[in-house]
Structure 1
Amino acid sequence: MTAPHTSGEPVVRPAPHRWLWYALGGGLPARSRGWVLHDTTTGTWWARHVVRSLVQMAVPIALVMVVLPAPWGLRVAVAGGGVALGLVYSLAYMVEATENRVVKAGYPVGTAGAIREARWEEREERDRRRRREAAAKRAARYRDRAGR
């Protein structure tokens, strides 16, 4: 299975332990190169980025919850603040982080952004075409009712 706008490489999903390594910032084997491009350019690329960020924050947050010598309410507040701050930074550098993953997989800089932009333009063109067709149908219906 290949995704549109890719180099035609197969999309080979990594094993769970390799995905965990990938989520923590590690690289994947060459056979998963097409999947990295798919992961960073699919329609849900931003949600996938958020999930990877939460996985990265899981260990420090778990340590705060277990090791911090404080009441549970304070532990939860500190962990929640950490997650919120981590997500702010993660979202602020989302495009750069996903582009870095694509470069790490061996693609040129800007590949993921160019693919996402091309897909956005295709989607916009489909929406424009759909709106034009709907407007033409409404106009025809109005002409038919008016007896013209």
Structure 2
Amino acid sequence: MDNNKVVENIYLLVIVTLISVLQNAFFANKVEKECKPKNTQHTSAFERVTCANRNCMDLYPTFLAVMWCAGLCLSQAPAAFAGIIYLVVRQKYFVGYLGQTSQSTPGYLFGKRILSFLFLMCIVGILNYLLTRYFGSNYKEYVDLFTNAASALLLIP
């Protein structure tokens, strides 16, 4: 397999990964700004921003793993689309957490739904591979059609 073919199969996933790195830098910058000593005590804003950052970082490896697995095992376009939506939701969660923690709940629940969708894509991709390998039945075209249609449903709150 030549390098152009490999890049063609993963470039959308790479773009989403790089955007997520920029988002992590934004989160770190917010924590750093709140960390600057205005007074000797940590404020409630500092507590909220560090908690929101920690929560986002806890799920970050899971997000990357399921997005990449879904993109490689099944289809990169729906996986990358779900990844972009997840990053938007994670931003909403982070900003909502800075206001009041109750404002972050919709972002948290929506993010769980997107991670579940990516996980399901991984499972379907692996099952399709096993069916193809051991039984000669390739359902990739049907699965791709369904996955592309289902990824648009992620936009429904």
Q: Please confirm whether the aligned pair reaches a TM-score higher than 0.5, indicating the same fold.
A: no
Greater share of residues in helix: 2
| Structure exhibiting the larger radius of gyration computed from Cα positions | 1
